[in-house]
Structure 1
């Protein structure tokens, strides 16, 4: 018993016809562009953002130390102005 196989010329199949459509080709190139842009942002953005995060952390630690020192010395917190009497 020989099996009948449809010829490629008469029946390419729905998936192959859809994948050859111009909208799909444009979507693939847009996907590639999005991938390149996304990986570029990750590769360049993370190393550039780390020094900023470190600087902000150091500043927060400095502010906290100033507040602790002011409370230990019994003075007002830096930047605090008592209400007028």
Structure 2
């Protein structure tokens, strides 16, 4: 095995030939798989980001529009129940 002299008097071994792992990692199938995985991760990231934005829009719309409607409907139901209770106490027939 040849050695390469470096400054400082230390000799390092020459770079060995590519290992079997390096050879396998350079095959077209592995390269294609790496590229596909990378592209898939980018698409999934964008999908999650847009899904998060959509969830935020739906959530805030629900809070701003639907929750006050539910509260108002509950108040109206309580008022109707109170009127019905008063009418039954006073003996007048309910409407």
Name the SS for the 2:20 alignment partner: coil
Structure richer in helix, relative to its length: 2
Q: Greater CA deviation, 60-69 or 31-40? A: 31-40
Q: Does 1:43 align with 2:80?
A: no
- State the Cα distance separating 1:71 from its structure 2 match: 0.6
1:19 equivalent in structure 2 = 37
**Offset at 1:50?**
1.9
Structure 2 residues not aligned, in runs of 5+: 1-18
Report the 3-state secondary structure (helix = DSSP H, G, I; strand = E; otherwise coil) of the residue aligned with 1:50: helix
The one-character-per-residue Cα deviations of 1:20-77 (angstroms, maximum 9, x if unpaired) are 56xx479534443333212211123223322111111110110000100111111111
Determine which structure has the larger strand proportion and give its number: 2
Matched, 1:6 2:25: no
- 3-state SS of the aligned residue for 2:31? coil
Q: In the comparison of the two structures, how many residue pairs are matched?
A: 73
State the partner residue of 2:93: 76
Alignment root-mean-square deviation, CA: 2.8
